C-alpha cells in the first residue's frame, strides 16, 4: 500500500503546489512509483507536471463516481502518474454527498494504492470538503508556509481541522512538519523568521523541517514549461533545497513508520 502525503495550508500562494510537484518529481527520479492527486480546482499541479488539464478525465468525474479511478489516471512523461483537476471540481460540495462524503477520496485511492509507492495530494487554499477529503486519505500531512508572509493568522482553524479529522475519520494522520518556502536569508531577517516559525510550529504541535526552500525565479518559470524545477533548473537554490527536503522527508517517514 502506498504512503500518502497531503500538502495543506488554507492560505494561498505558500508553495503547496510547487512542493507537491517537487516531491512527485524527486521521488520519481529516485525510481519510486508516484501518483500525484490534484484536489485544487485551479488545476495547477496537473498543469505544472505537463498535463493538459482541459481535456481528458479529471478528479471531478472520479469523485462523482462517473468513471473508475484507473480510467482517469494519466501518465506524465517523467513524473509518474497524475490525477488532474480543473474548474469543474469547484462543485465538490455538491458532488461529494452522503454520510461518508469525507471518505470517498480515500476509498477511491485505496483501489489503486497497491500500484504506487507514494501518493502526493495537493489541496486548494481553503478548508473545505476537498481539503478534509485529502486529510482523510493521507498518512502524513505537510504544511508549506511562505517565510515572507509567515503569520499566526488562520492557524487555529488549520489546527482544528486537522484535529477534527484525527478525532473522526483518520486517527492515524500524522503531521510531519512545517516547510518554510520562499525563504531568503537576506530579506527574512533570519532571527525573526526563526522565532516566528517556532511559535507557529508550537501552535500546531509540530516542528519545522531543517530544509528550507529558498526563493528563486526559476520556480515561477518552470510550471509553464510543464517540467519540474528539479529539471528546469537543477542547480538553482530551490532545486538544491527541494532535494535536501525530500531526503529529510523520507528519513522522517522511515523513523515514524
Ligand X SMILES: Nc1ncnc2c1ncn2[C@@H]1O[C@H](COP(=O)(O)OP(=O)(O)OP(=O)(O)O)[C@@H](O)[C@H]1O
State the residues that interact with ligand X by CB under 6 A: 12-18, 40, 42, 44, 125, 181-182, 213, 215-216, 219-220, 238
* Cell numbers at 179, concatenated: 516547510
Residue 215 in the binding site for Mg ion (CB under 5 A): no
Residue 181 Cα distances to 82, 149, 241, angstroms? 24, 10, 10
Strand partners, 183: 214
* Cell numbers at 29, concatenated: 527520479
Closer to Mg ion by Cβ: residue 50 or 68: 50
Closer to ligand X by Cβ: residue 26 or 238: 238
Q: From the list Mg ion, ligand X, none, which binds 252 (C-beta under 5 to 8 Å, kind-based)? A: none
Contact mark string toward Mg ion, 7..46, x via CB under 5 A: ---------xx--------------------------x--
Closer to ligand X by Cβ: residue 40 or 81: 40
Secondary structure (DSSP) of the chain: --EEEEE--SSTTSSHHHHHHHHHHHHHHTT--EEEEE--TT-HHHHHTT--SSSS--HHHHHTTSS-HHHH-EE-SSS-EEE---GGGGGHHHHS-STTGGGHHHHHHHTTGGG-SEEEEE--SS-SHHHHHHHHH-SEEEEEEEGGG--STTHHHHHHHHHHHHTTT-TT-EEEEEEEESB-TTTTTHHHHHHHHHHHHHHHT--B-S---B--HHHHHHHHHTS-HHHHSTTSHHHHHHHHHHHHHHHHHHHH-
Closer to Mg ion by Cβ: residue 17 or 215: 17
Closer to ligand X by Cβ: residue 11 or 64: 11
Q: Closest separation between CB of residue 48 and ligand X, Å? A: 8
Closer to ligand X by Cβ: residue 103 or 238: 238
Q: Closest separation between CB of residue 111 and ligand X, Å? A: 26
Q: Please work out the total of residues on this chain that contact Mg ion, with binding judged by CB under 5 A.
A: 3
Q: From the list Mg ion, ligand X, none, which binds 18 (C-beta under 5 to 8 Å, kind-based)? A: ligand X
Q: Closest separation between CB of residue 179 and ligand X, Å? A: 10
Q: From the list Mg ion, ligand X, none, which binds 12 (C-beta under 5 to 8 Å, kind-based)? A: ligand X
Q: From the list ligand X, Mg ion, none, which binds 181 (C-beta under 5 to 8 Å, kind-based)? A: ligand X
Q: Closest separation between CB of residue 215 and ligand X, Å? A: 4
Which positions lie near Mg ion, rule CB under 5 A?
16-17, 44
Amino acid at each position: 500500500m502506498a504512503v500518502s502525503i497531503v500538502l495543506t495550508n488554507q492560505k494561498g500562494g505558500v508553495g503547496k503546489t510547487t512542493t507537491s510537484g517537487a516531491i512527485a518529481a524527486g521521488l520519481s527520479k529516485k525510481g519510486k512509483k508516484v501518483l500525484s492527486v490534484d484536489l485544487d480546482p485551479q488545476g495547477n499541479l496537473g498543469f505544472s507536471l505537463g498535463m493538459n488539464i482541459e481535456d481528458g478525465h479529471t478528479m471531478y468525474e472520479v469523485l462523482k463516481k462517473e468513471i473508475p479511478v484507473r480510467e482517469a489516471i494519466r501518465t506524465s512523461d517523467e513524473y509518474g502518474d497524475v490525477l488532474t483537476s480543473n474548474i469543474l471540481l469547484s462543485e465538490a460540495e455538491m458532488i461529494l454527498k452522503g454520510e461518508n462524503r469525507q471518505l470517498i477520496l480515500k476509498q477511491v485511492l485505496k483501489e489503486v494504492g497497491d500500484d504506487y509507492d507514494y501518493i502526493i495530494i495537493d489541496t486548494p487554499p481553503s478548508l473545505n470538503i476537498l481539503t478534509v477529503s485529502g486529510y482523510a486519505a493521507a498518512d502524513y500531512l505537510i504544511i508549506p508556509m511562505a517565510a515572507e508572509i509567515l503569520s499566526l493568522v488562520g492557524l487555529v482553524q488549520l489546527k482544528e481541522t486537522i484535529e477534527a479529522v484525527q478525532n473522526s475519520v483518520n486517527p492515524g494522520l500524522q503531521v510531519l512538519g512545517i516547510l518554510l518556502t520562499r525563504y531568503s536569508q537576506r530579506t527574512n531577517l533570519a532571527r525573526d523568521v526563526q522565532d516566528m516559525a517556532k511559535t507557529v510550529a508550537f501552535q500546531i504541535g509540530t516542528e519545522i523541517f531543517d530544509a528550507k526552500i529558498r526563493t528563486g525565479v526559476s520556480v515561477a518559470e518552470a510550471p509553464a514549461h510543464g517540467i519540474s524545477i528539479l529539471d528546469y533548473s537543477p542547480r538553482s537554490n530551490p532545486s538544491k533545497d527541494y532535494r535536501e527536503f525530500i531526503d529529510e522527508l523520507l528519513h522522517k517517514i522511515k523513523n515514524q513508520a
